[in-house]
Amino acid sequence: MTVTRTPPQTSRPSPPDQRGAQTAAVLVLGEGGGLGVALLRRLQQSGTPASSALDLTDGEASELLREGHWRAVAVVTRDDAHALRLTLLSAHVRPDVPLWVTMFDHTVSRELEHVAPKVHVLSPSEIVAGDLADGCLAEAAGHIVGRRNHGVRLVDDALRLLVAAGAGLFGALVIEMVITMIAFHHGLIDAFYFSTRSVATVAGPPGAEAGPDWFKILSAANMVLAVALVAIFTAALVRRLSRRRLTTLFGPRAAPARHHVVLVGFGQVGFRLAQALRERGVAVIAIERDAEAPSVRLAKAAGIPVAIGRGDDREMLQRVGIERCGAIAAVTSDDLVNVAVGLAAEDLRPDVPIVLRLGDGEVATETDSLLHLGRICDAHKLAAETLQRAIEAGG
């Protein structure tokens, strides 16, 4: 348990008429580190009395809520389930105290605000995503806005193999049609019919046994090639159908080829950033390491293409089109991973516009001072400032 008390609270008893003023502090509940620490620091800097009680059990949090004369309670955590539990506990123990909660899920947020009128929900991911989206547009100097011709890029291995094998089968069919028309003087329809049977290894054209030798040789080689292509096509199709399809050849989830933003990290911030950019008319593709991440499951309904892999991997960055993208935004929850992505992107394309999400103020300062990797968004600082202003205005 980590409990930090800030002035003007003291251990000495205060006169009855002053105790309420001195203990009217903001209580910060949630998980240790990150936004909770940034919010506490921000409240201290603004002169607002505040106490942090992070990583508490339900019993410890309940006791602390009953003991203090709290001005407001802030529940700060990245886990919506944890936030919901602490919110219900706080609203039950102290229904008289305004409660500020960070939460990602809009449905749960609306229900909480209906059930408990003193509950106010903010989404740090939306706050940070808005700033990151503006940063992408600013760094790209407007070259990614209003571009409708984004093209299509194949980033999924199974889809690429499926398209390649399909193109090969079509080529084999065309070759068979041409040699059939030349050897037997068939019309286009007859040539298409008999060539389809040949490629499918059902039967050749009538009289093929008496055909010229060159036809037999070319047709046999073509059928062998078609057999191999059919096997590859079938394997790719089975692989494609047996896995979650995160990118498509057509439609909103088709991976763009140019004038797009590459998002590395598809967590809460990455998902909201993708939505914010699409609302601004910008095409996006996301890279996420964990195929089972919650936001990946939301990508299909949201129409956002996602590639599974490491964002600091050079091959992956090339596959999603870093050479022709408008900007790259590294928005994972790990500051060092984001810096590594920025370095890899700059190495592949020195002029690529880069936007980094960093949550540690020191890392953000050091990165900006030493590496000059583009625009940096201090996520915790930005969210803490917004939350602090909301708490003080609401209080």
Instruction: Say if residues 27 and 73 touch (Cβ distance below 8 Å).
Output: yes
The CA distance from 271 to 353, in Å, is 20
Same domain, yes or no, for 280 and 237?
Answer: no
Domain endpoint, select from 242, 271, 288? 242
CATH number, domain of 167, equals 1.10.287
The CA distance from 109 to 127, in Å, is 15
Domain annotation covers residue 386:
no
Domain annotation covers residue 177:
yes
The CA distance from 299 to 10, in Å, is 51
pLDDT in tens, 138-149: 888 766 765 666
pLDDT in tens, 302-338: 999 999 999 999 999 999 999 999 999 999 988 889 9
Domain annotation covers residue 390:
no
Same domain, yes or no, for 303 and 172?
Answer: no
Comparing CA positions, the residue from 57, 59, 54, 46 lying closest to residue 73 is 54
Domain annotation covers residue 42:
yes
Residue whose pair of structure tokens reads 């201090």 in the numeric block: 378
Domain count, the chain: 3
Same domain, yes or no, for 115 and 183?
Answer: no
pLDDT in tens, 219-277: 889 989 999 999 999 999 999 888 888 998 888 889 998 889 999 999 989 999 999 99
Domain annotation covers residue 190:
yes
Rounded to two decimals, what is the model's pTM?
Answer: 0.78
Same domain, yes or no, for 31 and 140?
Answer: no
Containing domain of residue 364, as a range? 130-153+252-380
For the chain, strand residue ranges (E) read 2-5, 26-30, 50-54, 72-76, 99-102, 119-122, 260-264, 283-288, 306-308, 327-330, 354-358, 375-378
pLDDT in tens, 180-204: 999 988 889 989 988 888 888 777 7
| Residue 41 in tokens | 């620091």
CATH number, domain of 84, equals 3.40.50.720
Same domain, yes or no, for 186 and 277?
Answer: no
Same domain, yes or no, for 79 and 211?
Answer: no
